[in-house]
Chain A
Amino acid sequence: MAVMGPETVDVAIEDDHLGGGGGTVVRRGVLRRTLSAPQAWIGLIVIALVVVWAIVGPWVARWDPTTTDVFNFGAGPSRDHWFGTNDIGQDIYAQTLVGLRKSLVIGFIAGPGATLIAGVVGAVSGYVGGFWDKVIVWFVDLMLVLPAFYILVLLSPVFKKLSWVAMVVALAVLSWMVMARVVRGQTMSIKERDFVKAARFMGVPGWTIIRRHILPNVASLLIIDATLGVGAAILTESTLSYFGFGVQAPDVSLGTLLAAGSASAVTRPWLFVFPAAILVVTVLATSLVGDALRDAVDPTSGANRD
């Protein structure tokens, strides 16, 4: 998750003023700077390839994920079975694709979902201030006392009854806290700026100010967090599923595949290596993009520092 110093987006805000015409100028600058980093390109291309593969892959698969090939029990990678087969002759390539689809969907919903909560809670808390701010900050501290993973494990009997969608919601609900504190800090400094004061004195309602003036100014932070959140959600999901607390039986994710494959990781490595490699490559790609975005937004954070 993205923990950053309070100076992070000040520069973007300054740009906003110089540009005079709203947020688009800043964002174009950030986009250009992001794309000038090769790691951003590598990350974006890899994510695009993985997503396209997850969508198109099953069409070119030779096997159905649940079909048993009676001539190939636990066979290694071959021309027939690109990623080999498991003990009961199911094609690992087809299964990996099904798992990848599920993991991607979970990541792309839970990551940005957490960012959405963080943005709203952080902006409201920082903007309203006073009693509600204290309550929210205290609640965030409380949520940080217990590791999210433990709470997810405690909640897992509920997921089993409902479906994997409940887990996605829980993932989002349990991973916004750190970012909300960062957004709150930013909001408190933006609130004191002249354009927000001007809007307030003109009688613009608080919610509109948050939506039109505060959130666009922390947008770059939120975009970074959403990008990094995708990878984080996929990792948490796979860990939960690995221990049997995440995605349940008829559904398959990369985590459940790894759980099935890890027992025989030494004797039949293809059961473990292929799903693991795809998981790592996907998460790595999202974190490369997130890091390039952060460098572009915050000139003091890395690549373009002297």
Chain B
Amino acid sequence: MIGFIAKRLVNYVILAVIATGLGYLLASATLHPISKFLGRNPPVSQDAIDAALDKMGVNPEVPVLVRLKDWAVNLVTHGSLGTSTGGRPVTEEIAARASTSLRLLIIGTLLGAIIGVIVGVMGAIRQYKAFDRTSTYASFVITATPTFVIAVILMILATNFNKLVGHQVIQFTGEYTAGLSGGFWTHFGDRAVHLLLPTIVLVLTSVATYSRYQRSAMLDVLSADYIRTARSKGRTRGSAMIRHGVRVALIPMSTFFAYSFGLMLTGASVTELVFSWHGMGEYLLSSIRNNDINAATGTVLFTAVLVLIAGTLADVVYAALDPRVRV
């Protein structure tokens, strides 16, 4: 099992390294940091432009592969991702934003996966009953709706709810209330309230996809002989379902989880942006608007590391569930 995980992990690390390198080349090809200095009145001198670009390591006069090499050497030796167009180290800016994004992403992914599996299993066990029909139609509608539309609809509902109650119960702009005074629990409660709607958006969308696949995987398992064997050797229906059914049905789900994690990241970025959170999604968008190559590559690296972690976790779950890979 250790060997299997280690092999997969090495593969993921190589993929992440190459993806980051390609991300750097892509950002260098599409973003033009020089545009910030051009067309100004009074004009900026060529020397000043070169000095500024060289400081960030993005001078287009230098061949792009040389810049990539410098960037990589700087990352390995100093652990630095360069400076952003704002003049601050990219690592510092990412560190400030990462916790915001990760809070939403981790809570949303975990809740989404757990609820998705439960909904899928219940749908499969009670196939064509009211619960199955309702969850199937609901997941169809949710997957057909863009994430940002779901977010805006929830915001409209929350606004109307607040009006009805006559008090700002559900707050949804930003990550916390600016200038709030109070102790730890006041701040904790405030952040939890702000987290409510974004989490619902993320959980709704992921439950909609996960439950469909879990239901399908579970239906495959339910007609298998070993379920009947388990029942006939005296296991209760519930026990046979959990020990022999759900466990086997989770094996293909772990692979699907690894594949769908990219969609999850996209959904989380979109959700952050709609609710005006200062997270990594906003960082990527602002890096494109500011023609900031270092910041864009930093986001790519951050994402690649997350995908690496998610993929490895999925492999651990896979190995834990499927005894065949542990040999």
Contacts and interface: CB of A to CB of B under 8 A. Distances in A.
Interface of A: 3, 5, 141-142, 144-151, 153-158, 178, 231, 235, 238-239, 242-243, 245, 255, 258, 262, 265-266, 269, 272, 276, 279-280, 283-284, 287-288, 291, 300-302, 305-306
B265 interface: yes
Contacts of B18: 142
B143 A287 contact: yes
Given A157-B288, A266-B159, A150 B149 contact: no
Closest CB pairs A-B (n = 6): A147-B262, A284-B144, A283-B144, A149-B266, A145-B19, A157-B30
* B-side interface mostly: helix
A288 B137 CA distance: 10
B141 A279 contact: no
A301 B152 contact: no
A5 B147 contact: no
A149 B273 CA distance: 14
A278 to B, nearest CB: 11
Given A301-B216, A302-B216, 8 more contacts: A5-B252, A142-B22, A144-B262, A147-B303, A150-B299, A154-B27, A157-B288, A258-B149
A27 B147 CA distance: 35
B284 A153 contact: yes
A154 B285 contact: no
Interface string B129-168: 0000000000011011111110011011001000000000
A93 B149 CA distance: 19
Given A3-B256, A154-B30, A265-B152, A149 B269 contact: yes
Contact of B262 (A148, A231, A262, A269): A148
Interface residues of B, number: 52
Contacts of B202: none
A239 B270 contact: yes
B304 interface: yes
B309 to A, nearest CB: 12
B141 A154 contact: no
Given A245-B288, A272-B152, A238 B146 contact: yes
Contacts of A242: 146, 148
Contact of B149 (A145, A158, A280, A288): A280
Contacts, number: 125
B259 A144 contact: yes
B120 interface: no
A207 B225 CA distance: 42
Nearest to A261: B152
A243 B285 contact: yes
- Of the listed residues B11, B159, B216, B303, the one surrounded by the most CB atoms of chain A closer than 10 A to its CB is B216
16 contacts: A3-B213, A141-B11, A142-B22, A145-B16, A146-B300, A146-B304, A146-B307, A149-B262, A149-B269, A150-B299, A150-B300, A155-B30, A235-B146, A279-B145, A300-B219, A305-B223
B285 A153 contact: yes
B220 A5 contact: yes
Interface of B: 11, 15-16, 18-19, 22-23, 26-27, 30-32, 127, 140-141, 143-149, 152-153, 155-156, 159, 213, 216, 219-220, 223, 252, 256, 259, 262-263, 265-266, 269-270, 273, 284-285, 288, 296, 299-300, 303-304, 307-308
B213 A279 contact: no
A50 B141 CA distance: 17
Given A242-B146, A279-B146, A146 B270 contact: no
A235 B26 CA distance: 24
Contacts of B143: 287
Contact of A156 (B155, B269, B288): B288
B224 to A, nearest CB: 11
A262 to B, nearest CB: 5
B85 to A, nearest CB: 15
B23 A287 contact: no
- Of the listed residues A142, A154, A235, A243, the one surrounded by the most CB atoms of chain B closer than 10 A to its CB is A154
A179 B294 CA distance: 33
A258 B148 contact: yes
Contact of A158 (B30, B144, B145): B30
A265 B270 CA distance: 17
Contact of A147 (B15, B26, B127, B263): B263
Nearest to B220: A300
Contact of B146 (A239, A302, A306): A239
Nearest to B261: A147
Nearest to A275: B149
Given A147-B303, A262-B148, A154 B296 contact: yes
